[in-house]
Amino acid sequence: MQRNKVFVTVPRAAITPVMMDEHEWLFIQGQNGKKLNGKALTPEVRKRLLEVTSLYASSLRSPHSVEPLKEVLNRIEALKRQTDGLRSYIWKESKAVKSELLYWQDRIDNWDTNLAEIQERLLCIPRTELESQFPLALLDRALKGSILVAKLVQHELREDAGTSDDRNLWFLWAALVFVAATALALWVLPRGARPS
């Protein structure tokens, strides 16, 4: 997946898993990692390289499966604002309850909570007596949980945009391709250019 894109659906195009034989890995890394400063690729690294290659290939072959990250984040932010506006309109709450939402948002920002805890504390608890008497109080709690889930997803997307393992593996993969292309003197020439 490109750095500024995010999957919005599972890619529809079936991607044949990339497989490499031992001699292909040895060609890329050299005997005993000679081409990689003496560092051979472990089976786990090889496996991850093949997985991330398939992931990137699927995003390139299925452009309908990805959208610009910035646009997705902006739409999530707009949804949070609209949902909070609806919450404020349908149910007037005390300052203590308003500070509860800020408390949860701070916990998300500090990676001090997760989806399971938000579900357990806000979304999956039985209906209270107050919520039985006042259905809009129930809707308020559900909307509050939705805002927090949206914020959690937004936070994860932002974090993944800069430092995901797959992205780091992508750069390693690109470096390996570069090594292989250099060794074989394979380079893509601009359209219309002729090899010298």
**What are 141-173's pLDDT values in tens digits?**
899 899 999 999 998 888 776 554 444 555 566
**What are 107-152's pLDDT values in tens digits?**
888 888 888 888 888 889 999 999 999 999 999 989 989 999 999 9
Q: Which helix (H) or strand (E) holds 137?
A: helix 135-163
Residue 121, amino acid: R
Task: List CB contacts of 40: < 8 A, sequence separation 6 or more.
Answer: 29, 32, 33
Domain ranges of the chain: 5-67+164-184, 69-161
- Cβ pair 82, 146 in contact under 8 A: no
Whole-number pLDDT of residue 185: 47
d(CA 131, CA 139): 8
pTM attached to this predicted model: 0.58
d(CA 50, CA 66): 20
d(CA 32, CA 48): 19
